[in-house]
């Protein structure tokens, strides 16, 4: 007959069924997961001892007082030490720091106190003598510290559908599955971070902390889109990005690096600010941003695709079909303020007479249904709209019979006509005033061109290109604007069918 099993923790004599403060003690086997099993063993802290198939740990050593849970699978409460816990969704880990002066609370029978929910808020770090160890543990669970781990993994909810383009070669916004761009990656599977280091930071802000404001922080419409985009990029990240930064192991999870980069783009946060938020050095933060920017620029190209003429016509709104059925693209230039360069020659090139400021100029083209389909490189502010159009090679993308709609500043008829392309712009004044027909045509074009203005507004909502952009970003701005346009194409369609 087998003897009674007892808890294997030091100075604990609990057994299954024992009543402790009106709670029945339960015994629990060691986890199969090797990492969690090792953490259990280390926390029990018995010298020269290894757990066997008969080893059990009682429920009184867990935050829930009923055994391991999904949120807190690791034991925290012991006679020799009380460990901080962290409510780190889908990635419960060990915080190294030890709670001071907890031993006497345990010896005084603090387990008799009623457990509180993990979401309980506290306004003080002070621990009273009648507070339970559980209360103290909860007080500390939000504090930032090191994680002692070899692998980080997080299980995400199953993703359904999001607003992405129809496929990699077609720039039409529809509600489609992301499986085309994350081939062989089941979107309902776990997002597993590579084994990069044995010590990983928990930043003050993680993607798990963002519940409802994902659009505010990233510019993406929802978390499903965020994770789908991360899944797509993480495939290339593993192949192209080194595990070290300047000789130092990476401290952030890949998903938190991605969040940090999107926050810089969307909120325009400075490197120093992001470094503080994510507990890394400014130089590391800058390197991470540059790496992810290059990665996104290379592998989000399909989101700003030049669609086939037939696809344009199939998805053309009725307002265009009636008046301009051959319209292929609506174009406009926007200017981005920047600092004054030191070089006199650069000052002359970058000064914009229209804005009376140093600027960069970029040409944006959208399809009739509101999808960004063309983004030029950035040019100096003094470059004319005609020059930017020619240099961006937009004309070469169009086919004979196509029509380009633009503002009256796009005097590019001499570029379009030889290629069989029709130019749709408001009529110019010939005799000091417009005729009634010309006024009506101007109104119709303005009503249709409003969509390109709305697209520009979406782009400018990414604060990294608002205000006066530092001249130090001049070599990255073309990539930044392109990536921002790609992210805008993941938003809900500008024109509803």
How high does pLDDT run on average in the chain? 76
Lowest mean pLDDT among 86-90, 92-96, 253-257, 266-270: 92-96
Q: In this predicted structure, what is the pLDDT of residue 187? A: 38
- At residue 343, the pLDDT reads 86
pTM for the model stands at 0.60
Exposure string (b/e) for 89-117, b if CB count within 10 Å is 16 or more?
eebbbbbeeebeebeebbeeebbebebee
Contact yes or no for 136/102 (Cβ under 8 A): yes
pLDDT tens, 369-412?
A: 889 999 999 999 999 999 999 999 999 999 999 999 998 888 89
Average pLDDT over residues 217-224: 93
Q: What residue segments make up the domains of the chain, in order of their start?
A: 165-196+205-302, 317-460
Give the lowest-confidence range in 299-303, 368-372, 431-435, 487-491.
Answer: 431-435
**Which pLDDT band, with edges at 50, 70 and 90, does 1 fall under?**
very low
Span 97-139, pLDDT tens digits: 333 333 333 344 433 333 333 333 333 333 333 333 333 333 3
Radius of gyration of the chain (CA): 30
Task: Kindly tell me if the per-residue pLDDT of 200 is higher than 80.
Answer: no
Is the model's pLDDT at 485 over the cut of 60?
Answer: yes
Q: Residue 66 carries which DSSP code?
A: S
pLDDT of residue 248: 66
pLDDT score for 250: 79
Residue partners of 369: CB distance under 8 A and separation at least 6: 172, 173, 315, 316, 317, 493, 494, 495, 497
- Which has the closest alpha carbon to 473: 464, 484, 460? 464
β partners of residue 375: 364
Calculate mean pLDDT across residues 204-228: 89
Task: Tell whether the model's pLDDT for residue 254 goes beyond 60.
Answer: yes
Per-residue model confidence (pLDDT) at position 155? 35
Per-residue pLDDT tens over the stretch 408-436: 888 899 999 999 999 998 887 766 777 78
The string over 143-167, giving b where at least 16 C-beta atoms fall within 10 Å of a residue's C-beta and e elsewhere, is eebbbebeebebebeebeebbbbbb
305: left (phi over 0), alpha (psi -120 to 50) or beta: beta
Report the range of poorest mean pLDDT among 46-50, 86-90, 118-122, 301-305.
Answer: 118-122
The dotted CATH code for 317-460 is 3.30.420
């Amino acid at each position: 007959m087998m003897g009674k099993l007892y808890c294997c923790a030091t100075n604990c004599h609990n057994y299954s069924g024992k009543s402790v403060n009106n709670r029945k003690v339960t015994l629990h086997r060691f986890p199969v997961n090797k990492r969690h099993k090792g953490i259990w063993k280390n926390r029990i802290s018995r010298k020269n001892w290894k757990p066997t198939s008969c080893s059990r740990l009682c429920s009184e050593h867990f935050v829930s007082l009923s055994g391991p849970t999904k949120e807190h699978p690791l034991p925290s409460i012991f006679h020799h030490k009380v460990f901080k816990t962290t409510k780190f969704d889908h990635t419960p880990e060990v915080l190294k720091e030890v709670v001071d002066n907890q031993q006497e609370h345990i010896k005084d029978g603090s387990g008799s106190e009623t457990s509180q929910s993990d979401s309980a808020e506290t306004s003080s770090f002070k621990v009273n003598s009648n507070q339970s160890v559980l209360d103290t543990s909860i007080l500390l669970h939000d504090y930032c510290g090191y994680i002692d781990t070899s692998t980080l993994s997080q299980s995400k909810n199953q993703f359904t559908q999001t607003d992405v383009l129809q496929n990699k070669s077609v720039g039409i916004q529809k509600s489609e599955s992301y499986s085309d761009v994350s081939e062989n990656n089941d979107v309902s599977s776990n997002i597993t971070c590579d084994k990069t280091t044995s010590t990983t930071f928990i930043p003050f802000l993680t993607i798990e902390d963002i519940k409802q404001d994902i659009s505010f922080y990233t510019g993406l419409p929802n978390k499903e889109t965020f994770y789908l985009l991360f899944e797509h990029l993480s495939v290339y990240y593993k192949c192209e990005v080194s595990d070290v930064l300047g000789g130092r192991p990476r401290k952030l999870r890949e998903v938190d690096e991605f969040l940090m980069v999107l926050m810089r783009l969307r909120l325009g946060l400075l490197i120093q600010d992001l470094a503080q938020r994510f507990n890394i050095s400014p130089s590391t933060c800058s390197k991470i941003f540059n790496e992810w920017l290059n990665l996104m620029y290379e592998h989000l190209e399909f989101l700003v695709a030049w669609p086939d003429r037939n696809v344009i016509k199939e998805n053309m709104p009725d307002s265009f079909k009636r008046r301009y059925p051959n319209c292929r693209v609506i174009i406009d230039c926007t200017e981005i303020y920047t600092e004054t360069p030191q070089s006199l020659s650069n000052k002359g090139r970058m000064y914009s007479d229209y804005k009376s400021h140093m600027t960069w100029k970029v040409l944006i083209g959208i399809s009739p249904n509101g999808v960004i389909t063309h983004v030029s490189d950035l040019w100096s502010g003094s470059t004319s709209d005609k020059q930017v159009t020619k240099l961006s090679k937009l004309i070469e993308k169009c086919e004979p019979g196509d029509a380009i709609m633009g503002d009256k500043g796009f005097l590019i008829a001499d570029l379009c006509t030889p290629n069989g392309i029709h130019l749709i712009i408001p009529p110019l004044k010939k005799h000091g005033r417009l005729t009634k027909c010309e006024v009506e045509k101007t109104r119709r074009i303005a009503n249709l061109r409003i969509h390109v203005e709305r697209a520009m507004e979406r782009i400018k909502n990414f604060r990294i290109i608002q205000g006066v952009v530092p001249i130090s970003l001049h070599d990255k701005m073309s990539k930044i604007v392109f990536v921002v346009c790609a992210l805008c194409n993941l938003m809900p369609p500008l024109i509803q069918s």
